[in-house]
Structure 1
Amino acid sequence: MEQNSTPAAPDPATDPALRPVRGAARCAIAALALAGTAWVARAVWHIRLAVAGQPTSGPLDQGDGVHRPPNALEDSYHLVASVGSAVTAVCVIVFLLWLDRMRDNAKALSGTDPRYGYPWLWLGWILPVVNLWIPRGVVADVHRSVFPERRLPAVVNWWWGLWLAGLAGGVGIIYSDDTDEVIARAYSGVLPLLAADLVIVVAAGAAALMIHTLTTAQREHVAGRAY
């Protein structure tokens, strides 16, 4: 008698290749909410610095290696900036842990290896030039490998466009100026800082929506194959 060689659908209750993603998605969304809140707080302090104006004693960096002591508002901005950077770093790690689980599940469900190898999950964000497309490619591959017949959800492109805008702003997620230089920018022209803050907050919201969208689609697919 002829036997059916089609592989059985993976059962999320018994297949060790499938990893739970619901909790990881919730943690990532919560981390993004905290990161967005931290950048809103940073924007508030940018406004406070602009309204207060530069002290009569001049900028923090007086030149020739001389720095004046910061006032109370400048000190508090240093604290807000430090907390915001720490929260953002945690958010990045939690996001990548969620993406790692989604990649593993996509590989198990599709039976194909990811387009980008495991090292790109981490290196793709920090290597110059390739960080302009590989992270989006990693995320897109998670969806397309399981749903090749579907269009990529638009929120993925919205998220990536906003992320790139934050990078290109020069005062957003990654910038070369130290905190004292950012304070000087707030005194001299706060609008670019506020624009970058807004882009980052909206990007965090788009990332949260993307996580929810991709996670829900994958979980519904797994549930459908189990029956």
Structure 2
Amino acid sequence: MNDHLANPPAPAAPSALRPVRWEARCAVAGLALAGAAWLVRAVWEIRLATAGQPASGPPDQGGGRHRPPTSLEDGYHVVSSLSQGAVVLCALLFLSWLWRVRDNARALSGEQARHSWIWMYLGWVLPLANLWIPRGLVVDIHRRSAPGRPLPSSVNWWWGLWLIGLFSGVGLMSADDTDELIARAYTDGWMLLAADAAIVGAAVAAVLVVRAVTAAQRERMAGTVPE
């Protein structure tokens, strides 16, 4: 008659917990797309460097004058636009995943997030803050999702490569327009390729980050709420 005391019912799952697998898959797909797009961009820069600058000089002739682009240069304009679009889509999907795991981490730990919600946006674009806030968001989510577990090394790889690709001067935050990047491909192609390699590497590492954090949350949730 004491069975109900020996085997008490499992506590109810926090209502705030929500499945995260779909958001994780979308984030991984977005990262793969952005990485592939940037890889194509790097291949095009190699093609430009191999072809060499035309005798008429760079596309931007100075003084507001531009010569007619070659077919390779036209192609690079298309590839550049598509790669930027892929990055925007990737950012939206990654943020959607980050919001979900952030909410789940708060429900699993019963603690408030270290950073308020506004930093989910400002942390990526505000100068100086964007040097550490996004990584801090992921670190805090992992700590509250898997207390006691060491931080996956992929987090540090992702963030280090991201910063290199972001602030290298020829990467994501480059102030140069496409014609100026084409001119660089002719003269200093190795700098563009180094930034491209960092961005592609950051995308690969970010996939591992998404998988690690998602797996940690799903393991915690498996004993609380079914996916």
Helix, strand or coil at the partner of 1:124: helix
CA offset digits 1:81-115 (Å, max 9, x no partner): 00000011100110000000000000111111100
User: Is the contact made by 1:9 and 1:226 (CA closer than 8 Å) also made in structure 2?
Assistant: no
Give the distance between the partners of 2:196 and 2:221, measured in 1 at CA: 38
Instruction: Call closer, same or farther: CA 1:38–1:9 in 2, change over 3 Å.
Output: farther
Give the distance between the partners of 1:220 and 1:108, measured in 2 at CA: 14
Instruction: Call closer, same or farther: CA 1:172–1:10 in 2, change over 3 Å.
Output: farther
Give the distance between the partners of 1:194 and 1:45, measured in 2 at CA: 10
Give the distance between the partners of 1:208 and 1:188, measured in 2 at CA: 33
Match for residue 136 of structure 1? 135
Alpha-carbon offset, residue 167 of structure 1? 1.7
TM-score by length of 1: 0.92
Match for residue 202 of structure 1? 201
Consecutive unaligned residues of structure 2, counting only runs of 5 or more, are: 1-9
1:61 and 2:43 are equivalent in the alignment: no
Paired residues, what number?
217
Give the distance between the partners of 2:47 and 2:25, measured in 1 at CA: 33
TM-score by length of 2: 0.92
Alpha-carbon offset, residue 135 of structure 1? 0.4
Instruction: Call closer, same or farther: CA 1:68–1:219 in 2, change over 3 Å.
Output: same
Counterpart of 1:192, as a letter, is M
Alpha-carbon offset, residue 225 of structure 1? 3.5
Pairing 1:116-155 to 2, within 5 Å after superposition: 116-155=115-154
Match for residue 89 of structure 1? 88
Match for residue 224 of structure 1? 223
Alpha-carbon offset, residue 213 of structure 1? 0.7
Instruction: Call closer, same or farther: CA 1:116–1:51 in 2, change over 3 Å.
Output: same
1:174 and 2:173 are equivalent in the alignment: yes
Give the share of equivalent positions with the same residue, in percent: 59
Counterpart of 1:155, as a letter, is S
Consecutive unaligned residues of structure 1, counting only runs of 5 or more, are: 1-7
Give me the CA root mean square deviation: 1.4
Instruction: Call closer, same or farther: CA 1:92–1:226 in 2, change over 3 Å.
Output: closer
